[in-house]
């Protein structure tokens, strides 16, 4: 009898959770909502913008490259999207403030802020400099900080909003050869989780997203140090592997669903969830595992050559094309193709 009562109680709680989850999603529709997306001209940012526009929302895209912004705007307006593109260097707080003002002047408000912009620099610690760490912190932590600081007072006057911070599994588990990236993503994760409870009382819901590998096509724009060709090889193949990476369109759907619900946290890919759970339960074992992984990664190169930073598109491919076929298709589809 007691077992039956317990099972019934669990079933009722689960049903209530599903109803609440669905009702919160339906209350916050994307139609006519205004979303400001950093790094919105390509990759995941562009895919998110497409899906918001498809739901009747409006988007303001921030990016440094004006040519990419033009192509992104052409893509979105061709699908019926209402789009504002703003060339903006997120390392400049003045440009951030100007971009927010332009967005409000154009659309009247900002309902959703998506801090998506990111840089990835891959290579041994021996080749990473203080400047590499500072640049990663500037893009992944200080830029979201500036944007949130500027947008939150506006959201309060409008009665609330949504903030989505795209962090990474690298912000939950430190990964070898990604030290600047992991350090800055840990900072973003801590900041995002830290402000969530305080902003919720103003009806501003913060979602921290920790994606694992995603097939956005961005591997060609990542930067590599050390033995450039070998570093690109392991990174590109990992990013393209179907069993441990996620299609960008599916990832975007899950992110926007979490945003609409005001979900506190979202981890993408089963591999990432397993790794995070394993690290939480067995941190020492995870630490030993990372040491083993590092043994299989490329060793440092000569100082003169290894300290130079090259994009994936500038490296030589050491693997068959079929190994990154899905990621390469995403490169073409999501405006990630480097300029000639």
Residue with tokens 């890919």: 269
41 burial level (CB within 10 Å; 0-12, 13-18, 19+):
buried
35 phi-psi bin (left φ>0, alpha ψ -120 to 50, beta other): beta
What is each CA distance from 201 to 33, 79, 180, 195, 217, in whole angstroms? Answer: 21, 37, 34, 11, 38
CA–CA gap between residue 306 and residue 309 (Å, rounded): 8
CA–CA gap between residue 214 and residue 296 (Å, rounded): 22
What is each CA distance from 53 to 47, 78, 212, in whole angstroms? Answer: 10, 11, 25
Residue with tokens 């916050």: 28
Give yes or no: 181 in active site: yes
Residue by residue, DSSP assigns 195-245 as HHHHHHTTTEEEEEEEE-EEESSGGGTSEE-SSHHHHHHHHHHHHH-TTTE
- Of 145, 181, 205, 288, the catalytic one is 181
Catalytic residue numbers, as ranges: 181
């Amino acid at each position: 009898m007691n077992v039956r009562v317990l099972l019934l109680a669990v079933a009722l709680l689960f049903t209530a959770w599903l109803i609440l989850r669905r009702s919160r999603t339906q209350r916050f529709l994307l139609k006519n909502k205004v979303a400001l997306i950093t790094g919105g001209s390509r990759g995941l940012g562009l895919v998110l913008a497409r899906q918001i526009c498809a739901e009747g929302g409006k988007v303001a895209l921030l990016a440094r490259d004006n040519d990419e912004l033009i192509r992104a705007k052409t893509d979105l307006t061709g699908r019926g999207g209402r789009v504002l593109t703003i060339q903006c260097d997120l390392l400049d707080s003045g440009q951030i403030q100007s971009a927010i003002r332009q967005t409000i002047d154009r659309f009247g408000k900002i309902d959703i802020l998506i801090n998506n912009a990111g840089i990835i620099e891959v290579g041994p610690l021996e080749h990473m400099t203080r400047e590499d760490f500072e640049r990663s912190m500037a893009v992944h932590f200080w830029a979201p900080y500036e944007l949130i600081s500027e947008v939150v007072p506006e959201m309060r006057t409008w009665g609330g909003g949504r903030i989505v911070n795209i962090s990474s599994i690298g912000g939950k588990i430190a990964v070898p050869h990604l030290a600047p990236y992991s350090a800055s993503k840990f900072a973003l994760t801590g900041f995002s989780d830290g402000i969530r409870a305080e902003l919720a009382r103003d009806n501003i819901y913060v979602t921290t997203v920790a994606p694992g590998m995603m097939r956005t096509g961005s591997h060609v724009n990542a930067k590599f140090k050390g033995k450039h060709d070998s570093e690109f090889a392991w990174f590109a193949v990992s990013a393209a592997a179907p069993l441990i990476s996620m299609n960008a369109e599916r990832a975007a759907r899950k992110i926007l669903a979490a945003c609409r619900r005001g979900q506190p946290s979202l981890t993408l890919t089963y591999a990432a969830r397993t790794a995070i759970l394993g690290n939480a339960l067995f941190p020492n074992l995870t630490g030993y595992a990372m040491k083993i992984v590092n043994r299989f990664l490329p060793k440092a190169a000569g100082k003169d050559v290894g300290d130079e930073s090259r994009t994936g598109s500038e490296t030589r491919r050491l693997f068959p094309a079929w190994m990154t076929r899905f990621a390469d298709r995403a490169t073409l589809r999501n405006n990630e193709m480097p300029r000639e």
